[in-house]
């Protein structure tokens, strides 16, 4: 039982980090290697708001979402917008943006590890089904589910989402129907960046905050998205769940090093036979 | 362009000729020439200011610079100024080797102060051995190295564990959980720890290594809960330390019943995880910032005055600081024309001084340092309370886990 709960808690963090990446890639086709740095910037925002303005972590979440979304929107308007027809070049461009973001943070905030306080009310465990788990991890799980729900609602139940799905299927034809794809792409990138920032802010009290922290998250996020199938939201959830559960099980019977290696190996083998991932969106060709 | 054999030979010959004339050090064996010319002594300072380990190496760089500035302000060495040549090897072992070569060959430094990780030390080692230069290494490390070109001023396993492990067994119990990062240092330390535990009749319930930079400890904490060890012996390093402590605390585990005992958690890491997460856990090291001695008060005040009131000193920055003074004492014994790395090495053997941690001395046999191990317990203000200091200073024994091997002046010997 404790294995499953631990797996769920790992999965919720994976999903939170991967959601933004999945949306950006699924809609715009941009492989955003700066995703990890957006996570990192979210964490630094949490630190800055807390230590300079005394705003607690929970209260600062909406601000952080807006700030990183704005940053994402700027990145999109200044750089990515010009590369929408050259998806391969976006890899290099976003990687460069990531490097610059890391160094900028280092210059502004220094190289030291930073400290983000956990909300005091959440800094202890509760017993769930006979297992002691930290309240904060339950909160992360809840947030991941809520954000997934919100994203699903935006895409499948709003007119914005309808346009977005139209663009995903065929950008040219959607444009013929008067949909401003440029604007939708910008908003998508901003939304994905905002989700990344939120993820960073939420994991910051559990993990460490440093300019390099983004690197590990971008690897995790890509694992989830590739395994799940790049255009499928449900796929991201399923693959985060699978990776979380298998990591937790292998780590329990062996250790985390072996878990990391085995999970990667499993993904490599799987995409050899199912390159489109577990849940590929069905698109008429 | 196609490379033919003849073309390659011609090119190589040309490059060789340019190298030989343009870079005289390649053929000039007498590297000591003009080492201390113009009343200056050039030394290299090689700590990463960027990259993953910059977090800690910046503070080592600062401690080294502080010592050099103090020595220069007090008149230098026999009237000669120390001139630091600062390079940034960017946390990358290959860059470490390249910068070390530059410092030794083209800057002609008489010694270099540097490195935090074992990987970077191993990377620069060939440069110092080949060029008969001298490297000052301040970090605690796994021992098991024997080089006449490195002066080691940090602790080796016997200096951190000989007092610590028996003390923990007596105070908390015999069920131990060993957790470390997955590379050579934690494995060697655990190797030594297991030997000590065996002698004490204690039991290792789990030995586990997590990837470097790992930050998801939920499985590990899960295992702590199910195995209920008496002591968690941690050699986790870097930012993983922060994640481990915070997730341990969020899971509601109690340091009074199941403390983490670490060889690597210093004031620096504690500042990043918050005192609350570290409170109650133990660290063994020769130096803590709160150590009460006139030398340490002077060091801490000078460090804060130079680099900022919010800065902390810790058990790697202290050796970074005192090793420059040991260098100064050794060089002061030499005439200006004799200032060469081999002469400095001979002069520093047996050299001693009162460091912030207490009196330290370079062991003649293996160029490691006699140190004063202490046991500290972290408090919620981010500082340690020193519970115990060993009764005497401890001899460095880099091969203690390998009973047949000894590091001597002649190199590694087996008996």
- Helix/strand number for chain B, H first, E second: 14, 17
The pLDDT mean for chain B works out to 90
**Separation in Å, CA of B163 to nearest CA in chain A:** 30
Our separate counts of H helices and E strands in chain A read 11, 2
One domain, residues B378 and B359: no
Q: Where residue B8 falls among pLDDT bands split at 50, 70, 90?
A: low
Say how far apart CA A220 and CA A16 lie, in whole Å.
Answer: 11
Is 90 exceeded by the pLDDT of residue B3? no
Burial string for A47-69 (b: 16+ CB within 10 Å, else e) reads bbbbeeeebebeebbebbbebbb
Q: Which residues of A touch B218 (CB under 8 A)?
A: 6, 9-10, 137, 248
pLDDT value, residue B5: 62
> Which residue of chain A is at minimal alpha-carbon distance from B212?
A257
| pLDDT exceeds 70 at position B19 | no
Tell whether B243 and B380 lie within a shared domain: yes
Query: d(Cα A64, Cα A49) in Å, to the nearest integer?
Result: 9
Q: What is the pLDDT of residue A128?
A: 79
Q: How confident is the model at residue B209, as a pLDDT?
A: 94
Contact between B271 and B382 (Cβ < 8 Å): yes
Q: How far apart are CA B181 and CA B309, in angstroms?
A: 32
How does pLDDT run across B308-323, given as a tens digit for each residue?
A: 998 999 999 999 999 9
Q: Within this chain, do residues B89 and B20 fall inside the same structural domain, yes or no?
A: yes
Taking an 8 Å cut-off on Cβ atoms, the answer to whether B242 and A247 are in contact is no
Mean pLDDT of all residues belonging to chain A: 90
Shortest Cα distance, chain A CAs vs residue B216, angstroms: 7
Residue B7: pLDDT above 70? no
Q: Among B55, B210, B215, select the one facing A207 at the smallest CB separation.
A: B215
Asked if residue B271 and residue B175 are part of one domain, the reply reads yes
Do B304 and B251 share a structural domain? no
Please state, for a pLDDT cut of 70, what percent of chain B lies above it.
91
Nearest CA-CA distance, residue A142 and chain B, Å: 17
The answer on B194 and B45 residing in a single domain is no
* pLDDT tens per residue, range B72-100: 999 999 999 999 999 999 989 999 999 99
Mean predicted confidence (pLDDT) in B40-58: 88
Same domain as B396, residue B335? no
**Which residues are within 8 A (CB) of B405 and not within 5 positions of it... i.e. 6 or more apart?**
B399, B412, B413, B414, B415
Measured distance CA(B375)–CA(B261) in Å, rounded: 10
Residues B13, B123, single domain; the answer is yes
- Chain B positions with Cβ closer than 8 Å to A: 49-52, 54-55, 58, 182, 208-211, 213-216, 218-220, 222-223, 225-226, 239-240, 242-243, 246-247, 249-252, 269, 271-274, 276
Quote the pLDDT of residue B13: 60
Give the pLDDT of residue B239.
82
Residue from the list B208, B226, B250 with its beta carbon closest to the beta carbon of A255: B208
* Domain identity same for B66 and B185: no
pLDDT of residue A84: 85
- Higher pLDDT residue, B191 or A113? B191
The string of pLDDT tens digits covering residues A43-87 is: 999 999 999 999 999 999 999 999 999 999 999 999 999 998 888
- To the nearest whole Å, the CA of A248 is away from the closest chain B CA by 6
CA distance B86 to B394: 33
pLDDT at B15 over 70: no
Domain carrying residue B95: 5-154+293-370
So what's the pLDDT on residue B34?
44
Cβ within 8 Å, pair A124-B252: yes
Q: A6–B218: do the CB atoms touch at under 8 Å?
A: yes
Which residues, at least 6 apart from B86, have a Cβ–Cβ distance to it below 8 Å?
B45, B61, B65
Number of compact structural domains in chain B: 2
Whether the per-residue pLDDT at B24 is higher than 80: the answer is: no
First to last CA, chain B: 57
**Size of the A and B interface in Cβ pairs below 8 Å:** 113
Q: Is B317 found in the same domain as B249?
A: no
Assess whether B146 and B53 both reside in one domain. yes
> Tens digits of per-residue pLDDT, B55-67?
789 999 999 999 9
Residues of chain A with pLDDT under 50: 285
Nearest Cα residue to A260 out of B243, B245, B213: B213
Identity of the residue in A209, A210, A256 whose CB atom sits nearest the CB atom of B220: A256
Same domain, B272 and B298: no
CATH number at residue B385: 3.40.50.2300
How many C-beta neighbours within 10 Å does residue B365 have? 17
Structure tokens of A16?
A: 């939170």
Question: What pLDDT sits at residue B411?
Answer: 87
Cβ of A115 and B271 within 8 Å? Answer: yes
Complex confidence, ipTM: 0.88
Residue B213's pLDDT is: 84
pLDDT at A86: 86
Q: What is the pTM of this model?
A: 0.87
Cα(A201)–Cα(B261) distance, integer angstroms:
29
């Amino acid at each position: 039982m404790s294995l499953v709960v631990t797996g769920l808690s790992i999965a919720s963090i994976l999903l939170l980090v991967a959601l933004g990446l999945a949306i950006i890639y699924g809609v715009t086709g941009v492989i955003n290697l700066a995703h990890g740095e957006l996570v990192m910037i979210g964490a630094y925002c949490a630190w800055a708001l807390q230590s300079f303005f005394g705003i607690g972590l929970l209260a600062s979440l909406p601000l952080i979402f807006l700030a990183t979304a704005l940053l994402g929107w700027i990145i999109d308007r200044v750089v990515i917008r010009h590369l929408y027809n050259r998806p391969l070049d976006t890899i290099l461009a976003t990687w460069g943006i990531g490097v610059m973001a890391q160094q900028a943070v280092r210059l502004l905030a220094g190289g030291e590890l930073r400290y983000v306080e956990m909300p005091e009310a959440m800094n202890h465990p509760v017993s769930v089904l006979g297992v002691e788990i930290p309240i904060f991890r339950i909160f992360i799980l809840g947030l991941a589910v809520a954000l997934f729900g919100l994203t699903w609602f935006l895409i499948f139940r709003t007119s914005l989402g309808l346009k977005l799905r139209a663009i995903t299927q065929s950008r040219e034809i959607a444009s013929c129907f008067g949909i401003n794809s440029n604007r939708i792409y910008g908003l998508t990138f901003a939304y994905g960046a905002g989700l990344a920032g939120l993820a960073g802010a939420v994991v910051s009290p559990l993990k460490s905050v440093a300019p390099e922290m983004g690197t590990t998250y971008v690897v995790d996020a890509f694992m989830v998205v590739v395994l799940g199938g790049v255009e499928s939201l449900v796929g991201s959830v399923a693959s985060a769940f699978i990776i979380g559960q298998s990591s937790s099980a292998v780590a329990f019977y062996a250790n985390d090093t072996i878990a990391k290696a085995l999970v990667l190996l499993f993904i490599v083998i799987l995409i050899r036979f199912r390159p489109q991932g577990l849940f590929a969106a069905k698109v008429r060709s | 362009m196609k490379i033919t054999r003849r073309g390659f030979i011609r090119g190589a010959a040309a490059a060789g000729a340019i190298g030989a004339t343009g870079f005289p050090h390649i053929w000039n064996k007498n590297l000591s020439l003009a080492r201390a010319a113009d009343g200056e002594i050039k030394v290299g300072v090689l700590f990463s200011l960027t990259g993953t380990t910059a977090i800690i190496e910046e503070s080592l760089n600062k401690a080294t610079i502080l010592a050099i500035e103090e020595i220069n302000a007090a008149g230098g060495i026999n009237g000669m100024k120390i001139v630091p040549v600062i390079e940034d090897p960017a946390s990358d072992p290959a860059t470490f080797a390249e910068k070390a070569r530059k410092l030794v060959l083209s800057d002609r430094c008489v010694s270099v102060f540097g490195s935090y990780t074992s990987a970077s030390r191993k990377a620069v080692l060939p440069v110092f051995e080949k060029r008969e230069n001298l490297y000052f290494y301040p970090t605690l490390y796994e021992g098991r190295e024997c080089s006449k070109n490195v002066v080691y001023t940090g602790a080796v396993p016997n200096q951190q564990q000989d007092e610590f492990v028996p003390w923990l067994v007596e105070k908390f119990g015999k069920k131990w959980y060993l957790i470390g990062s997955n590379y050579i240092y934690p494995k060697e330390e655990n190797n030594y720890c297991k030997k000590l535990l065996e002698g004490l009749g204690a039991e290792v319930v789990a030995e586990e290594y997590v990837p470097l930079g790992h930050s998801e400890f939920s499985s590990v904490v899960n295992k702590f809960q199910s195995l209920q060890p008496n002591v968690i012996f941690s050699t986790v390093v870097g930012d993983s330390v922060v994640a481990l402590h915070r997730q341990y605390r969020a899971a509601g585990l109690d340091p009074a019943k199941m403390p983490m005992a670490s060889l690597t958690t210093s004031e620096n890491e504690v500042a990043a995880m918050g005192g609350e997460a570290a409170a109650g856990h133990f660290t063994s090291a020769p130096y803590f910032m709160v150590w009460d001695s006139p030398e340490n008060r002077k060091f801490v005040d000078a460090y804060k005055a130079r680099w900022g009131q919010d800065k902390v000193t810790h058990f790697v920055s202290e050796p970074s600081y005192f090793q420059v003074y040991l260098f100064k004492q050794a060089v002061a014994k030499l005439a200006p024309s004799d200032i060469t790395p081999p002469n400095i090495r001979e002069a520093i053997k047996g050299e001693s001084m009162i460091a912030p941690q207490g009196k330290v001395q370079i062991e003649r046999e293996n160029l490691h340092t006699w140190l004063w191990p202490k046991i500290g317990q972290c408090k919620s203000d981010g500082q340690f309370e020193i519970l115990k200091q060993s009764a005497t200073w401890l001899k460095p024994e880099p091969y203690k886990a390998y009973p047949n091997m000894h590091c001597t002046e002649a190199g590694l010997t087996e008996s």
